[in-house]
Amino acid sequence: MSKNAIVSFAGNKHIHTEITLTGSKSECNRALIISALSKGAVAVANMSIAADTVTLARILKQVSTHNPHQQTVDVGPAGTAMRFLTAFLSALPGDFRLTGTERMKQRPIGILSEALKTIGANISYLGEEGYPPLHINGPLNQSADTVKIKGDISSQYISALLMVAPRLPEGLTLEIEGELTSVPYVKMTLDMLTEAGISHEWSAQQISIKPQSFKATTLTVEPDWSAASYWYSIAALASESAIELPYLKEKSLQGDSRIREIMTAFGLHTSNTANGIALSKIPAAFTDEVLDLKDCPDLAQTVIVCAAAMKKNLAFTGLETLKIKETDRIKALQNELAKIGVTLTEDHLVYTLNCDGLHFPERVTFATYEDHRMAMAFAPLSLLINEVVLEEMDVVEKSYPDFWKDLQTAGFTVITA
């Protein structure tokens, strides 16, 4: 069983530090799939050390040599790997059983697997219809070159289809139905494919990729803006802060780079340095506008917890996909924010904080629900609470394995219990 972390910060709450973040999990997972599809023509530099990425790299190595017998491919808790591999294995010769943790078996995959089946993939459900585990017998015998898919579902379904498209005999056209959620992640996928020599056409609600070959190149992974978001929260909650984050780019492929814009209202200025970015305090300038996070849902927990700690009754939209993540993140936030007297209520897809009852006990234990982002979103509250206990501290391995070590670098005390 994973141990708990007891986090505290003694002294004047001044944080002056430099933190070098691991490579982006989102970029690296895409780069690994593209590299495998290119049969080695595309190399990957600055690999992420996130557990999800390590898992995906191991699996891709495992399936790279054709095995005439069925292979069991276990992604564990890695949701991105489950989605990307569903499409990847469908295009690969072999007989695969794709599975994961018990929680993974509760996370829907039907929209993607049914889309693949409409173009000729041989996929069946080994348990509940529409959910893992899957039986995949590849390669698919392409029967159509166009597939319709809803735009308001996980962008990872769309990215999974786009990445395998150039390897399909007839290529693929996606017809997006309705508004496209998480546009930056789809753009990230297309930009990385372009860098690897794959052209596309995007007109209105259609994205088309013809069958074509990858060019020899190296995809260099930028540090993780999702990981950077926790340092924005720390900087906002500290009484004084000067935090440098090397190698992050002003113009990033990652949708979560929007954190620099969002946190301006929270009293943070982001400046570009010769080596990355630096965070510093400015006067906060909150407005009554509803904050739409549909393009960056992975920032939601960080931003909502930080707003609650600053006693700001903000409202949010674009959180629909949070209910099918590692946990039901809406319910998890509601449960844990209640421990400091804050409520998060839903009204027609608008989620509103009420911080009127905000209080900071001497010690609070927060559950993490096997969700890395819950642990890292609540850890900054140790700047306001004498002792914050985060259950199952190892959950951070999923995306930011050095999180506890980096907290200590910045002056926090982290005790394992």
Q: Which two tokens stand for residue 9?
A: 């910060």
Does 202 score more than 70 pLDDT?
Answer: yes
Q: How confident is the model at residue 417 (pLDDT cuts 50, 70, 90)?
A: very high
Helix then strand then coil, in percent of the chain rounded to 5, is: 35, 25, 40
> Count of CB atoms within 10 A of residue 345's CB?
11
Among candidate residues 224, 298, 402, 406, the one labeled active-site is: 298
21 pLDDT higher than 70: yes
Evaluate if residue 68 carries a pLDDT over 60: no
Q: State the pairing for strand pair 71-74/240-246.
A: unpaired
Rg value, the chain, Cα: 21
Give residue 69's pLDDT band: very low, low, confident or very high (50, 70, 90): low
pLDDT band at 1 (very low <50, low <70, confident <90, very high): low
Task: Specify the range with the lowest mean pLDDT, choosing from 23-27, 234-238, 249-253.
Answer: 249-253
Shared-domain flag, residues 300 and 179: no
- Could you tell me what percent of the chain has a pLDDT over 70? 99
Give bridge partners of residue 353 from the DSSP assignment. 344
Query: Cα 108 to the chain's mean position, in Å?
Result: 17
Q: Find the farthest-apart pair of alpha carbons in the chain and give their distance in angstroms, rounded.
A: 66
pLDDT band at 324 (very low <50, low <70, confident <90, very high): confident
Local confidence band at 397 (pLDDT 50, 70, 90 cut-offs)? very high
Mean pLDDT value across residues 123-136 = 97
Cβ(225)–Cβ(254) below 8 Å: yes
**One domain, residues 209 and 247:** no
Half-sphere exposure of 214 (CA within 13 A, CB side): 26
Contact status, residue 366 vs residue 391, Cβ threshold 8 Å = yes
Beta bridge partners of residue 347, listed in sequence order: 350
- Pick from 15-19, 34-38, 64-68, 310-314: least confident: 64-68
Question: What stretches of 199-313 adopt beta strand conformation (E)?
Answer: 201-203, 206-209, 217-220, 240-246, 268-273, 276-281, 291-292
Tell me, yes or no, whether 202 and 236 share the same domain.
no
290 and 391 both lie in a single domain: yes
Tell me: do 190 and 281 sit in the same domain. no
| Shared domain check, 9 and 59 | no
Q: Is the pLDDT of residue 67 over 70?
A: no
Mean pLDDT on 191-211: 97
Domain-ending residue, one of 220, 240, 271: 220
At which of 220, 240, 275 does a domain end? 220
Examine the pLDDT at 133 and tell me if it is beyond 90. Answer: yes
**Whose structure tokens read 């292979």?**
71
Is residue 215 domain-shared with residue 228, that is, in the same domain?
no
C-alpha to C-alpha distances, 376 to 142, 299, 316, nearest whole angstrom? 43, 11, 20
Q: Which residue has the tokens 């495992």?
A: 62
Residue type, 378: F
Query: With 90 as the cut, is the pLDDT of residue 277 above it?
Result: yes
Q: Are residues 210 and 235 in the same domain?
A: no
Q: Are residues 248 and 345 in the same domain?
A: yes
Domain of residue 124, CATH code: 3.65.10.10
8 A C-beta contact, residue 28 and residue 47:
yes
How much is the pLDDT for 65?
Answer: 65
Same domain assignment for residues 193 and 141: yes
User: Are 229 and 356 found together in one domain?
Assistant: yes
- Could you identify the residue written with the tokens 């930009």? 191
Residue 218: strand, helix, or coil:
strand
Residue 224 falls in the annotated catalytic set: no
- Residue 179 and residue 263 in one domain: no
Residue 83 has, within 13 A of its CA and on its CB side, a CA count of 25
Helix (H) / strand (E) element for 25: namely: helix 25-37
pLDDT of residue 404: 98
| Final residue belonging to a domain, choices 190, 220, 250 | 220
| Rounded Cα–Cα distance for residues 344 and 354 (Å) | 7
Average pLDDT, the chain: 95
29 and 411 Cβ atoms separated by less than 8 Å: no
Contact by Cβ (8 Å): 383, 9:
yes
Tell me how crowded residue 370 is: count the other CB atoms within 10 A of its CB.
Answer: 20
Arithmetic mean of pLDDT, 191-196: 97
**Are the CB atoms for 413 and 2 separated by under 8 Å?**
no
Q: Taking the model in full, what pTM does it have?
A: 0.83
Residue 312: domain span? 5-23+223-416
Split into its structural domains, the chain has a count of 2
**Six token digits for residue 162:** 């786009």
Element of type H or E holding 374: helix 372-378
